[in-house]
Structure 1
Amino acid sequence: MLTIGEFSKICEVSTKTLRYYDEIGLINPDEINPENGYRYYSIKQLKKMLLINRLKSYHFSLEEIKAILDLEEDQFEEKFGAALFRKRREIQENINALEYTLKQINRDILNVGKGIPVMSYLDQIDVQLVETRPKNILYRRQMMSREDYAAGYGSFFSRLYEKIATEKLTLLGTPMTIYHSPEYNPSGNDTEFAVPIEEVVKGTRDLPGGLCAKSVLKGPYSELTSVYAKLREWVEQQGYEVVKSPYEVYITDANHAAVPEDIVTEVYFPVKKR
């Protein structure tokens, strides 16, 4: 048996952290002396603690780690493997985002050195006036917080595609998101997820066509705020006004993009002349 201090030293985890792990049921002492409360760990628990440390180094949360450790033995290999694949994808997405940020910083450094304003990139965002055609869309509308956006986009679109597959509906375009809230609210925004289809069934509605200011982003979704700012500026300068909720059309799936620059998103502002 190992004292909590010995166990702490071998695994390089503080005794305070080990007590917290015990408290949340992540790893419990093999034995606690009822007289003095001293905690002891068995040699076999070293492997479990090393696994916990390894998963932490992979950026798994303690909640995720606990879920993995609680897996039934007959399910462990399959579900643990799936969790590793998801985490690898998540880390790769973060790496891609950081590499894109580094490219931006390098461009800004070069521009500053040449006396070019950092925000001059906004002038490179192209805006077109287009006439869109009406669409029949299968939709789900939901109040979404910032956290929901990160975790919920895939699940909402998955439900729409599941209905399309189950009912053998005819897909006519790529997924889109319509933003109905008049202002941004961190606690929740009125968001509509939609996919254009041919059939008029329960859960569909008409998305009217009309005049729109349109811009195309080739890059990560984090750049969309710049596109929105440019579109709003263009609308003001050209004597138009926004008449309906703006929406985004996802031409490419971010999950299938090798690099952020491969992600293509169209942004539409329905407008009319003032």
Structure 2
Amino acid sequence: MKIVVIVIYSIGKFSNISNVPIKTLRYYDSIDLLKPSVVDKTTGYRYYDYQKISQVERIKALKSLGFSLNEIKEIINGSIKKDLNQKLIEKRNDVIVRKSQLESIISEIDDILRYSKPYFEKKYHISSVYFEYRSSITVISIKEKIEIHQMDQLVERLFQKVYAYNCKIKGNLMTIWHEWDNPLSQETEVMFEIDGDILNNTLENEVKIIPNGEYACVDFVGLYSDLTVAYDQLKDLIVTDSFFIEEYMEGLVPQEMDDMLCVKPLKDADPNNFKTKVMLKL
């Protein structure tokens, strides 16, 4: 009579032999990836036989190839429809894609180190300073001291004013900031150019003239929060009585505004593509 001796190990001993933490072995048991050979019904202690070591080695090998635990479970249980070779081919293709992505990241890091590029590089486009003579224009405007987050409300009131006086808009929305020493709370003026030929006595007190003259200009495309770089381009040209005007060329409001009460900000527009013209009256 042949006697077969089966050696079983406590979970602690098996952890040492297999070089897998006890916590991991318990987790593998909970997800039915690697079940213990015996569980003591009284104590709940787990025991593993020697054959379980080969299963552990297979799990380790598949993990090293990039397979997830769910994929490994499917492979070991034979529940996948595709054979292992096909799964390996698919995994190889995935790794090639990730390799390309990692090489791109490495290349970008090398450029940052080589050229001392800032890690969060500003993604905007800005023109050189240019000069243009601008004729005087008639604008309808609203000027109030506001917090910066109230800008949308001020623009909305301007739309209502344009609608109330049935004005014909000729240009883009513009802003004059009157207190640059206090960027969070300042006197702000928003305006539209209107047709000055149709002014009547009622409207006459509601408009102002932006004077003609030479203006230093910068075209900026990018996030509005980065617009300070445009002002930096112009600040050395400031003289007595200078003032800045922002003209919103594209991105903030629709180009067609037939009904002022229905105008809404272009929330679907990409703010990285906002186009703003900053002008300094010389």
- TM-score normalised according to structure 1 size: 0.49
- TM-score normalised according to structure 2 size: 0.48
Q: Which has the larger radius of gyration?
A: 2
